[in-house]
Chains A and B, each alone.
Chain A
Amino acid sequence: MAYAVKDYKTEVWVDWCPGCGDFGILNAIHQALAALQLPPHKVAVFSGIGCSGKTPHYIGTYGIHTLHGRVLPVATGFKLANPEMTVIAVGGDGDGYGIGAGYFLAAGRRNVDLTYIVYNNGVYGLTKGQASPTLPKGVQTKSLPEPNLMEALNPIAVALGAGYTFIARGYAYDVRHLRDLIVAAIQHRGTALIDVLQPCPTYNNIYTREYYNARVYKLEETGYDPVVHNPTDEKEIVEKKAQALLKAYENGDRIPIGIFYRVERPTLEDELAARLPHWGKALANLEPIYQRDLTPLLDELR
Chain B
Amino acid sequence: MPKRFVSWMIGGPQGSGINVAAETLAKAFSRGGLYVFANIEYHSNIMGKHSYYRVRVSEDPIHAPVEEVHLLAALDEETLFGDHHHNPEFPTHHGHVHEVVPGGGIIYDADLGDIRDRLKRDDLRLYPVPYFEMIRRALEPFGKAAEYRQYDIMRNTVALGATLAILDYDFDLVAEVIREQFKGRRARLADMNIQALRVTYDYVHEHFGNDFPWKVRRRERRGDHILIRGVQAVALGKLQAGLGVQTYYPISPATDESTYLEAVQSKYNVVVIQTEDEISAINMAVGAAHAGARASTSTAGPGFALMPEGIGFAAITEAPGLVVFLYQRGGPSTGLPTRTEQADLGFALHPAHGEFPHIVIAPGDVVEAFYDSFEAFNWADRYQMPVIVLVDKYLASSYITVPRFETRHLVIDRGIRYQPAGQRDGYLRHAVTESGISPWVVPGTEGVVFWTTSDEHNPKGHISEGVLHRMEQMDKRMRKLELAAREIPDSKKFTLHGPADAQVTLVGWGTTKGAILDALEELSALNGLTFNFLQIRMMRPFPAEPVGAILRRARRVILIENNYSGQLGNLIREMTGFRIPHRVLKYDGRPFTVNEILEGVRRALENDEERIVMISSEAREVIPWPTR
Query: Known contacts being A74-B286, A77-B247, A292-B240, is A66 close to B454, with CB within 8 Å?
Result: yes
Q: Is A42 on the interface with B (CB-CB < 8 A)?
A: yes
What CA separation (Å) do A292 and B267 show in the bound complex?
9
A246 to chain B, nearest CB (A): 29
B444 lies within 8 A of A292 (CB): no
Q: From A84, which residue of chain B is reached at the shortest CB distance?
A: B444
Set of chain B residues within 8 Å of A80, measured between Cβ atoms: 245, 271, 273, 284, 288
Q: From B268, which residue of chain A is reached at the shortest CB distance?
A: A292
What CA separation (Å) do A226 and B67 show in the bound complex?
68
| Per-position binary interface string of chain A over residues 96-126, scored 1 when its CB falls under 8 Å from any chain B CB and 0 otherwise | 0000001101100000000000000000000
A82 lies within 8 A of B454 (CB): no
Of the candidate stretches B113-121, B205-213, B225-233, the one touching chain A is B225-233
A74 lies within 8 A of B287 (CB): yes
Query: Known contacts being A82-B292, A289-B244, A297-B236, is A102 close to B280, with CB within 8 Å?
Result: yes
Chain A: residues with Cβ within 8 Å of the partner, total of 56
A77 lies within 8 A of B291 (CB): yes
Of the candidate stretches A28-36, A201-209, A276-284, the one touching chain B is A276-284
* Residue in A282, A292, A296 whose CB lies within 8 Å of B292: A282
Set of chain B residues within 8 Å of A276, measured between Cβ atoms: 265-266, 269-271
| Per-position binary interface string of chain B over residues 473-484, scored 1 when its CB falls under 8 Å from any chain A CB and 0 otherwise | 000000000000
What CA separation (Å) do A275 and B313 show in the bound complex?
31
What CA separation (Å) do A63 and B457 show in the bound complex?
13
A127 to chain B, nearest CB (A): 15
B454 lies within 8 A of A49 (CB): yes
Set of chain B residues within 8 Å of A302, measured between Cβ atoms: 31, 225-227
Q: From A107, which residue of chain B is reached at the shortest CB distance?
A: B276
Query: Known contacts being A62-B451, A78-B290, A278-B269, is A70 close to B295, with CB within 8 Å?
Result: no
A82 lies within 8 A of B293 (CB): yes
Set of chain A residues within 8 Å of B275, measured between Cβ atoms: 73, 106
Of the candidate stretches A53-61, A148-156, A185-193, A248-256, the one touching chain B is A53-61
A64 to chain B, nearest CB (A): 6
Chain B, 328-383, CB within 8 A of any chain A CB: none
Set of chain B residues within 8 Å of A62, measured between Cβ atoms: 443, 449-451
B442 lies within 8 A of A282 (CB): yes
* Residue in A41, A78, A102 whose CB lies within 8 Å of B291: A78
| Per-position binary interface string of chain B over residues 415-448, scored 1 when its CB falls under 8 Å from any chain A CB and 0 otherwise | 0000000000000000000000000001111111
Set of chain B residues within 8 Å of A57, measured between Cβ atoms: 451, 453, 462-463
Q: Is B412 on the interface with A (CB-CB < 8 A)?
A: yes
* Residue in B247, B287, B445 whose CB lies within 8 Å of A78: B287
Chain B, 486-502, CB within 8 A of any chain A CB: none
A256 to chain B, nearest CB (A): 30
| Per-position binary interface string of chain A over residues 138-158, scored 1 when its CB falls under 8 Å from any chain B CB and 0 otherwise | 000000000000000000000
Set of chain A residues within 8 Å of B462, measured between Cβ atoms: 12, 57
B442 lies within 8 A of A285 (CB): yes
Q: Is A298 on the interface with B (CB-CB < 8 A)?
A: yes
Q: Is B157 on the interface with A (CB-CB < 8 A)?
A: no
B423 to chain A, nearest CB (A): 9
A77 lies within 8 A of B444 (CB): no
**A-contacting residues of B (Cβ < 8 Å)?**
31, 225-228, 232, 236, 239-240, 242-245, 247, 264-271, 273, 275-277, 279-281, 283-295, 309-310, 313, 317, 404-405, 407, 412, 442-455, 461-463
**Selected A-B contacts with CB under 8 Å, 8 pairs:** A73-B284, A74-B283, A77-B295, A276-B266, A278-B269, A282-B442, A283-B291, A292-B242
Q: Beyond the given A41-B446, A73-B280, please list 15 additional residue pairs across the A-B interface where CB-CB is below 8 A.
A: A41-B448, A64-B453, A73-B279, A79-B291, A80-B245, A82-B442, A276-B265, A276-B271, A278-B269, A283-B292, A283-B293, A283-B294, A288-B269, A297-B236, A298-B405
